[in-house]
Amino acid sequence: MKRTRLKRRSGLGRTAEQLVRLASGLAESGSRVEDRFWEQQLATLIDQMLEENDEEVLNTALDHLYSADPRAYDELADNIESRAECAAGAFPEHDVVLIAAPVLAWSRYRIAATSIAPAVLANLRVHLQAHVLAKGAHLSVADFLFSPDQLPQGYCATAEFAKVICGAARDNLDLHIETEGMPETAQFLSDTRYLLAAVAVPRGTPLFRWQE
């Protein structure tokens, strides 16, 4: 006769429990060498969850740690966000990162979430490469100003978008955004729009000007 599986004492699934254990180990680490061990283990498991689009496991582990161990919660949240923004290890020969630059606007009229004209996009590239990025860094800028409602929602969606725009950055190409079907933008007198971009460099080389 098939035995009924007993619920785990913590109420967590196996993978969420493993995330909790690794994050707790990192929070209690006493050296950089030990930090690197926990971070590598966490990165591997987080990348797997992002690749499998398993947002629920990530949120379950975070929810558990939020009340049980705030330091471990901070470590896990930081690592999940970092892995999502860096495309979850999809480019092993490159260091890549997703950038979100907020633009705050006030107006009596509707603040547009709109495509960016090619000439403006080219000008943005020139200034970012001249003043922000390291020499030789490759760049991709999305040709759209996103409202908060139009940004990727959740860690898995962020990682998926990061893979696309970081892939374009690796090839030093801007990213065209298809706007059909995007969520409507709420109307406010002041609101934020986001310019999304990505940077790609050979692994271990500087991403930004101030690293040189």
* The pairing of beta strand 190-202 with beta strand 138-146: antiparallel
pLDDT number for residue 8: 45
Write down which residue in 42, 61, 85 finishes a domain: 85
How many domains is the chain built from? 2
Per-residue pLDDT for the chain (212 aa), expressed as one digit of tens each?
A: 333 333 444 578 999 999 999 999 999 999 999 999 999 999 999 999 999 999 999 999 999 999 999 999 999 999 999 999 999 889 999 999 999 999 887 777 676 668 899 999 999 999 999 999 999 999 999 999 998 888 999 999 999 999 999 999 999 999 999 887 777 776 666 678 899 999 999 999 999 999 99
Q: For the beta carbon of residue 141, count every other beta carbon within 10 angstroms.
A: 24
CA distance 75 to 86: 16
Q: How far apart are the first and last CA of the chain?
A: 66
* Same structural domain, 99 and 81: no
Q: Are residues 102 and 79 in the same domain?
A: no
Structure-token pair, residue 85: 């923004």
Question: What pLDDT, on the 0 to 100 scale, is given for residue 10?
Answer: 54
Domain that holds residue 37: 14-85
173 and 205 inside one domain? yes
pTM above 0.75, yes or no: yes
Q: Examine the domain organization and report whether 65 and 128 are in the same domain.
A: no
- C-alpha to C-alpha distance for 153 and 55, rounded to whole angstroms: 11
Residues whose CB falls within 8 Å of the CB of residue 100, separated by 6 or more in sequence, listed in order: 151, 194, 195, 196
Report the alpha-carbon distance of residue 166 to residue 174 in Å, rounded: 10
Domain final residue, candidates 85, 113, 144: 85
Q: Which run of H or E residues covers position 156?
A: helix 155-170
Shared domain for 53 and 127, answered yes or no, is: no
Predicted confidence at residue 188, as pLDDT, reads 65
